[in-house]
A and B are shown apart, each in its own frame.
Chain A
Amino acid sequence: MTVYVFRRLLGIFPVLILVALGSFLLVHLVPGDPAMVMLGNDATPQQIQALKTQMGLDRSLPEQFALWGRQVLRGNLGESFFLGRPVTQSLIERLPATLQLALLSLVFSLLIGIPAGILAAVRQNTKWDQLIMITAMGGISIPSFWLGLFLILVFSVQLGWLPSGGYAPLWDDFWGGLRILVLPSISLGFMQAALIARMTRSSMLEVLRQDYVRTAKAKGLDWWRVTLKHALKNAMIPVITTIGTAFGVLLGGAVIVEIVFTYPGLGRLVVLAVQRRDYPLVQGALLLASVIYVLVNLAVDLLYGVFDPRIKYE
């Protein structure tokens, strides 16, 4: 297994090279010029050119890429044009905020999604099943920004129970931070909960029809044991894939929800960086997002073995 993990980790490098090249080309080919954004509408062409030279943007694209690539290989993602500080530092500062929001959203989506999926499967074609599936359909269809604004209107403005936005690190102020996180986590986790519920249901339905489940029932095992131990464990492989993807998405930065809730996470940083054409920051954030994705996928693959001991890693 160690060899397998090592091999997978080595596999990150070609992915990162591709992502680095792709993100570099993407941000540089989109029309826009950080010097123009920084200097404002009234800057003269001469002033813009001078700043471009200072930023190193007057060089050719391959030259710029080579310079940046050399820096990245040394572990330096460059300096943000606008924030005036290292990209790595800016990303690390945002990571805890995104991490706590992603984790809480994931917990929320698991707590809702898995029981709802199981219930819909064991009560297939009943009112329960229909209710859960309609809600899940709603969860997938309702845009998270709409749900966010709706929750703010009800729970912040009307009832005054929870704050409408902001951020407090959980390790500084646990309860205060948690109160802030409730609404964004629900808006973010609702869609993932819906996806997880649908996947759990369909996977459970398939497993519940298997011979060994019928045998277990025939042997007189109680309902809970059959459903939660024998069936659920075997139904988890596709569900875990969904959870892994969901976590990757949540960690990559929940752009819209972060904007609605004024939450200073990675997603908002990336949007701001794109809006300002802060090339080093966009490129750094995309690299970080891809590392996170690869690592989450690796964790998901390793988890398969926990649920299905037949899977071996070589």
Chain B
Amino acid sequence: MRRKLGLFAMAPAALAAILLTISPAVAGAPVQGGTLRAALTASAPTLDPHSGTHLAIREIGLHVFENLLAFDAKFQIVPQLAERWEASADGKVYTFTLRNGVKFHNGREMTAEDVRVSVERFRAVAPRRNELDGLAKLEVVSPSVVRMTLNKPDASFLAAIANPICQLAILPKEAVEGRPINKADIIGTGPYKFVEWIPDRWVRLARFADYKPEGKAEAGGFGGARSAYADEIRFVPVPEPGARVAGLQTGEYEFADFLPSASIPQLTGDRSLRIVRLGPQNYPTVYFNHTGKFKSLKLRQAVQAALNMDEIMQVANDGDGRVDPGLYFKEQVWHTTAGGKLYNQKNPAKAKQLLKEAGYNGEPVVFVTNTSYDYMYKAAQVIQEQLKKVGMNVTLGVYDWPGSLAVRKDMTKWDLFTSSHSTRFDPSANDFYFREKTTFFGYKNPKMEVLLDKASAATKFEERYKIYEEVQKLTYEDVALLKLYDHYTWQGHSAKLQGYTPWVQVRLWNLWREK
């Protein structure tokens, strides 16, 4: 595997730059300057990129930090801080050559030593560190070359390096060495540099003058050339949906995330705004506690047969979504409908029969959900009703999100649990659900472990695809968990903002305000 960023790849960007210089007045030409105020739903719990998987961390972090590799709009891995990489024939040794002249926001040039220290720190503190468990040796070959040696071939290794969720961001050595979780200095190599964080008020980022966009802008996603046009971005946490809508309408924010469905008809009528659909954003999921009464396959099958996903989607998200069995979205190369016959059966008669065969006698089923994510709570209410109709005695345990996570830890306190899957960039990101060692819901199936081992050892896409197809099929047959529906969300921005493409999450680079 080898990729290079050649001169040809840079040609369109250079051409665009020349055109911009000659005729800045051309309609649609990017304009530099201004402050962009973006209303996000949540306050980032921390800005340390290695610290957590919270959405707000990466929404801000991806503007400041970069990884060695990144995912493009097609979910393919492209170089970011690495100029190229090479894998040995046995798939165990990866050699990364770094881009020359990349500067950190503190003015120092990035070297292989910074990469080593950042990766070491990630392995020490990051929640996602187990994805690098197979990394046996990490060597600095030269100031611009890093070599990583694995215990055994691991097809998901590059995806772990590129994953934007809890980024394996490269920070300067002095900002991370020996720092515990949540304590890194916020210094990256991205198009925007960190200026100020007043928790709950804003995070201010400023354009990084020394940033050089690399690669093709049309690569999209998190990769390719990323240009900073706004002088400043202010990420403002606005948890109240009504306040995000009002702020967008009054022009206090040029961009707002997660707009409530009910406000969309009103907002689309406003000519000063552009409303875009970000779909799909995640999928809500129901987990079974496999160590309790749902040890019984028949009982799990009964729940699977009873659910009507169309109805759940209608109530949980006003119908904004898609009923699809894929554990990966249709937009992703990993999508498959394997096992899909068992999804969205809407068959109460079959469910009742299965309950009878399982010997279920109205024992109480505790369904733990949360009100922090409105759609999960609504989905749980519909599911409760649907299960009641087939004769299950379901009681809801309603908590806030941290409360529900704490209850989930005690396997004697719950039978069903709601959560959601954000976009997974590589199927291996779901492996931990199905492995006995790492799962939180007590799932255990040797057949599944064999499949996952095979997937991990496979190196070709086609081979891995087939194995993950099997994994999905087995997930449905074994009713390991239940995917509900693809959840869509809405975003809005001022009509003056140009260049915005909705994809996975908020991305405000390559975006400018028309004068």
Which of B237, B246, B403, B407 counts the most chain A CB atoms within 10 A? Answer: B246
Q: Could you tell me if B243 and A40 are in contact, using CB atoms closer than 8 angstroms?
A: no
- Nearest-Cβ distance from residue B487 to partner chain A, whole angstroms: 15
B461 within 8 A of A: no
Residues of A near B337 (CB, < 8 A) are none
Q: Check A262 for interface membership: any CB of B closer than 8 A.
A: yes
Q: Which of A31, A33, A54, A163 contacts B181 (CB 8 A)?
A: A54
Is the pair A31, B419 in contact by a Cβ cutoff of 8 Å? no
B46 is an interface residue with CB less than 8 A from chain A: yes
Q: Which residues of B contact A34 (CB under 8 A)?
A: 402
Q: Which residue of B lies closest to A152 (CB)?
A: B246
B84 touches A (CB below 8 Å): no
Contacts A37-B401, A54-B180; A45 near B440 (Cβ below 8 A): yes
Let me know if A44 and B130 touch, CB within 8 A: yes
- Distance (Å) between the CB of B341 and the closest chain A CB? 29
In the complex, chain A residues whose CB is within 8 Å of the CB of B43: 272
Interface residue? B200 (CB, 8 A): yes
Contact, CB under 8 Å: B250 / A260: no
Of chain B, the residue at the smallest CB distance from A32 is: B402
Q: Does A308 contact B (CB under 8 A)?
A: no
- List, in ascending order, chain B residues with CB within 8 A of A167's CB: 201
B177 in contact (CB, < 8 A): no
Complex CA–CA separation, A179 to B399 (angstroms): 38
Complex contacts, A260 vs chain B, CB 8 Å: 240, 242-243
Kindly identify, within residues 107 to 151 of chain B, every residue whose CB is under 8 Å from any CB belonging to chain A. 127-130
Cβ-defined contact, B246 with A164, below 8 A: yes
Q: Does B76 contact A (CB under 8 A)?
A: no
**Which of B45, B239, B399 interacts with A259 by CB under 8 Å?**
B239
Q: Is A36 an interface residue (CB 8 A)?
A: yes
CB distance A32 to B406 under 8 Å? yes
Cα(A83)–Cα(B197), bound, Å: 10
- B-contact 0/1 string along A153-197, CB 8 Å cutoff: 100110010011111000000000000000000000000000000
The 0/1 profile, CB within 8 Å of A marked 1, for residues 149-178 of chain B is 000000000000000001000000000000
| Contact (Cβ within 8 A) B243 A262 | yes
Cβ-defined contact, A42 with B182, below 8 A: no
Scan residues 17-69 of chain B and give those whose CB is less than 8 A from a CB of chain A. 39, 43, 45-46, 48, 51-54
Q: Does A264 contact B (CB under 8 A)?
A: yes
A34 to B129 alpha-carbon distance, docked (Å):
19
The smallest C-beta distance from B231 to any residue of chain A, in angstroms, reads 19
**B383-406 interface code vs A (CB 8 A; 1 in, 0 out):** 000000000000000011111011
Chain A 40-85 residues near chain B, CB threshold 8 A: 40-45, 47, 51, 54, 81-84
Neighbouring B residues of A83 by C-beta, 8 Å: 199
Q: A31-B403, A54-B181, A275-B402 known; A37 and B198 CB under 8 Å?
A: no
| Docked complex Cα distance between A277 and B405 (Å) | 12
Nearest CB in chain A to that of B413: its residue: A31
Q: Is B261 an interface residue (CB 8 A)?
A: no
A93: CB under 8 A from chain B? yes
Interface of B is mostly: loop
- Of residues 258 through 310 on chain A, the ones whose CB sits less than 8 Å from some CB of chain B are 259-262, 264, 268-269, 272, 275-277
Q: Answer yes or no: B252 CB below 8 A from chain A CBs.
A: yes
B45 touches A82 (CB 8 A): yes
Specify which chain B residues have a CB less than 8 angstroms from the CB of A264 in the assembled complex: 198-201
A39 CB within 8 Å of chain B: yes
Q: Are A262 and B247 within 8 A (Cβ)?
A: yes
B55, closest chain A residue (CB):
A40
The answer, yes or no, to whether A90 is at the interface (CB within 8 Å) is yes
**Could you tell me the distance in whole angstroms from the C-beta of B332 to the nearest C-beta in chain A?**
18
CA distance A81 to B247 in the complex (A): 30
Residue of chain B at shortest CB distance from A85: B199
Considering the chains assembled together, what is the distance between the CA atoms of A82 and B46 in angstroms? 6
Residues of A within 8 A of B45 (CB): 37-38, 82, 276
Would you give the shortest CB distance from A93 to chain B, in whole angstroms? 7
List, in ascending order, chain A residues with CB within 8 A of B200's CB.
Answer: 264, 268-269, 272
Q: How far is the CB of A44 from chain B (nearest CB, A)?
A: 5
Contact pattern, B 199-219, Cβ under 8 Å of A = 1, otherwise 0:
111000000000000000000
**B403 contact from A30, A43, A54, A156, Cβ within 8 A:** A30
- Identify which of A32, A33, A156, A259 gathers the most chain B CB atoms within 10 Å of its CB: A32
A149, CB-defined interface residue at 8 Å: yes
Are B183 and A84 in contact (CB-based, < 8 A)?
A: yes
Question: For A93, A166, A167, which residue has the most chain B Cβ atoms within 10 angstroms?
Answer: A166
Q: A54-B180, A160-B250 are in contact. Are A276 and B127 (CB under 8 A)?
A: no
User: Contacts A84-B183, A164-B243 known; A33 to B409 CB distance under 8 Å?
Assistant: yes
Which A residues are CB-close (under 8 A) to B239?
259
The distance from the CB of A157 to the nearest CB of chain B, in whole angstroms, is 5
B252 near A41 with CB under 8 A, answer no
Is B296 close to A, CB under 8 A?
no
Q: Is A31 a contact partner of B406 (Cβ separation < 8 A)?
A: yes
Interchain CA distance A31-B408 in the complex, whole Å? 10
Q: Which of B235-260 contact A (CB under 8 A)?
A: 236-240, 242-243, 246-247, 249-250, 252
Give, as a whole number of angstroms, the nearest-CB distance from B78 to chain A. 24
B42 to chain A, nearest CB (A): 9
Indicate if B372 sits at the interface (CB-CB under 8 A). yes
Chain B, residue nearest A163 (CB): B252
Q: A54-B180, A259-B240, A272-B43 are in contact. Are A42 and B128 (CB under 8 A)?
A: yes
CB distance from B436 to the nearest CB of A (A): 12
B372 to chain A, nearest CB (A): 7
Selected from B129, B238, B402, the residue in CB contact (under 8 A) with A36 is B402
User: Besides A40-B53, A156-B246, 14 other CB < 8 A contacts?
Assistant: A32-B403, A36-B405, A37-B402, A40-B52, A47-B130, A54-B181, A82-B45, A84-B48, A149-B242, A260-B242, A262-B236, A262-B238, A262-B247, A264-B198
Query: Residues of A at under 8 Å CB distance from B?
Result: 30-34, 36-45, 47, 51, 54, 81-84, 90, 93, 149, 152-153, 156-157, 160, 163-167, 259-262, 264, 268-269, 272, 275-277
Q: Which 5 A-B pairs have the closest CB atoms?
A: A40-B53, A32-B402, A31-B406, A264-B201, A39-B127
Chain B residues near A (Cβ < 8 Å): 39, 43, 45-46, 48, 51-54, 127-130, 166, 180-183, 198-201, 236-240, 242-243, 246-247, 249-250, 252, 372, 399-403, 405-407, 409, 419, 432, 438, 440
A sample of 20 cross-chain residue pairs with beta-carbon separation below 8 angstroms, ordered by A number, consists of A32-B402, A34-B402, A37-B402, A38-B52, A45-B440, A54-B181, A82-B46, A82-B182, A83-B199, A84-B48, A84-B182, A152-B242, A157-B250, A160-B250, A164-B246, A259-B243, A262-B39, A275-B372, A275-B400, A277-B402
